[in-house]
């Protein structure tokens, strides 16, 4: 069984590593992976394991957890989803980070100005200018207020004999503040503004970090929004009521009107239409659907009304699986990230040791406590391993997210990392890489009988214009994208469509109508022509050639004979 826990309070990759180790030690856990960028822990464990134990393991380290999250269950939900809750949480993180940053700078800047420009206030307090006292008070406020959450995390970790990025910040800035208060009475140099400015800029960095995480999470949010929110459920007596998607169950019948999204995966039990499945398959042309065919949630019903029997719960649909794939990819670690995590795991203790060694060396070399403490503090505050732990997971988060937005699903961080070596991409389908705007490319009118032009009052026109006028007349009442392409070509050439009547659209095949007053006509794909008993022998060579070029070919038949071809791409 797999459980995903949103985690709050992580500030570096070492935090993620500590949580991973704690979760892995819980009895019944097979594996645990914590992604610092997505702020989520993915735990595989025995079915009988109490999930509360996982939450407790995280809480014991001083971090917070959200509710168990499974985005699949909500891929089509009309209610706030687990991911949308996570997205809102990112918004709250941004607001909190922004507020702390503003407060820190409001107090840090005056302290910095006083120290840098030697500003003095008339008077004397314990042998010091009041401005120095003011600088110390302002810096201490920054240390105790905006940075308080860092210190809390530091002390929680210390009780468990662990350390993280917050430990470095607390030790470094705390040492600078305490040392400066000591110096204010001893008459030495002060470093209040150093601590205040360092905290302010670290908080600013965390604000930008929260902002980047929030933006990167937009990809999943947009995927979730692809699905319909409500459906027209049909009762036993035929009555139709609008209900939220998450109330639908397998076996329910829903009515899908033209122009609406298919609510969930299902089977058509009545009606025929063409369905735009481009969001799933990339195909630029809608696919003909009729009774017995499968349709998929979030695809668009283009024409006729459909009655669909639901066959998949919201968490089992194709869209839900796409969301899960992107979520899993964002949560997995690339090989380079695993290396960075190993380094981060020992980074903080090493930095603390280096800081202590730095202090000892400087003190032994100079004998000056003041000259020794500042380099030691600098080592602590400069060495925060933010970039080390954040760069790779953020790159995966943003990369997989942008890929999903553009219809490219990346299975894992490892796949994304290996993609840098790709030099050739091969596609096995035609008609997929398009602009989504079909246009006429070829007109084959060599088989058009001149007597037909006379009967339809098309005398004086060249064969191509005659064929286009006939096709435009047949397609005049159609809403299909290929029909739009034919009509657009006719308009561009100034060709007037032939008058038609008795129009009938055959979903996934073509159209039939009567031209003039008595001439039966068909326009459609080769399958449609075969079903109608139209021989294609005379146009077979041109048909094969155009199809080999990857073009969609429609056949025009008059009086039971194929008389022309129109290629569309």
Of the candidates 294, 131, 103, the residue with the CA atom closest to the CA atom of residue 203: 103
Cβ pair 38, 330 in contact under 8 A: yes
- What's the CA gap between 63 and 315, in Å, rounded? 29
Residue 375: how many other CB atoms lie within 10 Å? 13
- What's the CA gap between 480 and 285, in Å, rounded? 9
Give me the sign of the Cα torsion angle 397, 399, 403, 409.
negative
- What's the CA gap between 223 and 380, in Å, rounded? 42
Is residue 462 part of the annotated active site? The answer reads: no
| CA-to-CA dists, residue 333 to 20, 70, 176, 358, 370, angstroms | 13, 19, 37, 35, 44
CB burial of residue 195 (10 Å; 0-12, 13-18, 19+)? buried
Q: In what order do the strands lie in the sheet with 510-515?
A: 440-444, 561-568, 552-558, 519-524, 510-515, 500-506
Cβ pair 81, 220 in contact under 8 A: no
Of the candidates 244, 251, 248, the residue with the CA atom closest to the CA atom of residue 269: 251
CB burial of residue 128 (10 Å; 0-12, 13-18, 19+)? middle
- What's the CA gap between 561 and 569, in Å, rounded? 25
Give me the sign of the Cα torsion angle 38, 40, 41, 42.
negative
3-state secondary structure of 273: strand
- What's the CA gap between 290 and 273, in Å, rounded? 6
376-391 b/e with 16+ CB inside 10 Å = b? bbbbbbebbbbebbbe
Q: Tokens 């159209």 correspond to what residue?
A: 511
- What's the CA gap between 163 and 246, in Å, rounded? 44
Of the candidates 381, 385, 380, 386, the residue with the CA atom closest to the CA atom of residue 358: 380
Q: What is the DSSP pairing of strand 40-45 with strand 29-35? A: antiparallel
DSSP per-residue codes, 417-464: HHGGG--------SSSSS-S---EEEEE-TT--HHHHHHTT-TTS-HH
Q: What is the DSSP pairing of strand 230-234 with strand 240-244? A: antiparallel
3-state secondary structure of 158: helix
Q: Of residues 67, 428, 464, 542, which has the active-site annotation? A: 428
Q: Tokens 């109490």 correspond to what residue?
A: 50
| CA-to-CA dists, residue 113 to 80, 107, 119, 196, 204, angstroms | 47, 11, 8, 12, 19
Tell me the two tokens of residue 421. Answer: 């070596």
Q: Provide the annotated active-site residues.
A: 428
């Amino acid at each position: 069984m797999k459980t995903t826990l949103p985690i709050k309070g992580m500030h570096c990759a070492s935090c993620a590593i500590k949580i991973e180790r704690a979760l892995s030690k819980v009895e019944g856990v097979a594996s645990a992976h914590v992604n610092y960028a997505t702020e989520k822990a993915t735990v595989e464990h025995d079915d009988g394991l109490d999930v509360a134990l996982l939450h407790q393991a995280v809480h014991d380290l001083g971090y917070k957890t959200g509710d168990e999250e499974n985005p699949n269950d909500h891929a089509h939900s009309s209610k706030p989803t687990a991911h949308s809750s996570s997205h809102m949480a990112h918004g709250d993180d941004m607001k909190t980070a922004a507020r702390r940053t503003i407060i820190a700078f409001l107090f840090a800047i005056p302290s910095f100005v006083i120290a840098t420009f030697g500003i003095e206030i008339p008077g004397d307090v314990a042998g010091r200018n009041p401005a120095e006292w003011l600088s110390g008070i302002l810096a201490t406020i920054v240390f105790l207020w905006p940075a308080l959450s860092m210190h809390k995390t530091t002390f929680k970790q210390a009780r468990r004999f662990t350390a993280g990025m917050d430990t470095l910040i607390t030790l470094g800035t705390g040492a600078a503040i305490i040392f400066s208060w000591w110096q204010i009475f001893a008459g030495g140099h002060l470093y209040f503004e150093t601590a205040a400015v360092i905290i302010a800029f670290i908080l600013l960095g965390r604000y930008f970090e929260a902002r980047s995480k929030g933006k990167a999470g937009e990809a999943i949010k947009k995927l979730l929004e692809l699905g319909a929110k409500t459906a027209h459920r049909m009762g036993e007596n035929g009555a139709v009521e609008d209900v939220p998607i998450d109330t639908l169950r397998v076996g329910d019948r829903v009515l899908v009107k033209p122009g609406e999204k298919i609510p969930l995966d299902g089977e058509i039990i009545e009606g025929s239409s063409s369905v735009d499945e481009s969001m799933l398959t990339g195909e630029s042309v809608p696919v003909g659907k009729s009774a017995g065919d499968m349709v998929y949630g979030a695809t668009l019903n283009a024409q006729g009304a459909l009655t669909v029997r639901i066959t998949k719960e919201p968490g089992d649909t194709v869209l839900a699986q796409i969301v899960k794939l992107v979520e899993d990819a964002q949560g997995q670690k690339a090989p380079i990230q695993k290396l960075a995590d190993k380094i981060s795991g020992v980074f903080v203790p090493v930095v603390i040791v280096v800081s202590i060694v730095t202090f000892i060396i400087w003190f032994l070399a100079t004998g000056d406590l003041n000259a020794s403490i500042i380099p030691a503090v600098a080592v602590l505050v400069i060495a925060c391993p933010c970039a080390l732990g954040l760069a790779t997971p953020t790159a995966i988060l943003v990369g997989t997210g942008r890929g999903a937005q553009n219809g490219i699903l990346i299975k894992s961080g490892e796949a994304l990392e290996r993609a840098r070596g790709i030099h050739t991409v091969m596609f096995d389908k035609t008609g997929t890489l398009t602009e989504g705007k079909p246009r006429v490319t070829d007109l084959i009118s060599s088989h058009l009988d001149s007597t037909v032009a006379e009967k339809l009052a098309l005398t004086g026109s060249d064969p191509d214009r005659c064929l286009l006028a006939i096709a435009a007349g047949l397609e005049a009442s159609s809403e299909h994208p290929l029909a739009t392409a034919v009509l657009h070509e006719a308009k561009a050439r100034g060709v007037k469509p032939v008058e038609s009547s008795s129009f009938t659209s055959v979903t996934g095949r073509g159209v039939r109508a009567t031209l003039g007053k008595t001439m039966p006509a068909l326009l459609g794909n080769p399958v449609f022509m075969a079903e109608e008993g139209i021989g294609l022998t005379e146009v077979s060579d041109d048909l094969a050639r155009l199809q080999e070029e990857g073009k969609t070919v429609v056949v025009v038949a008059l009086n039971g004979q194929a008389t022309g071809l129109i290629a569309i791409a």
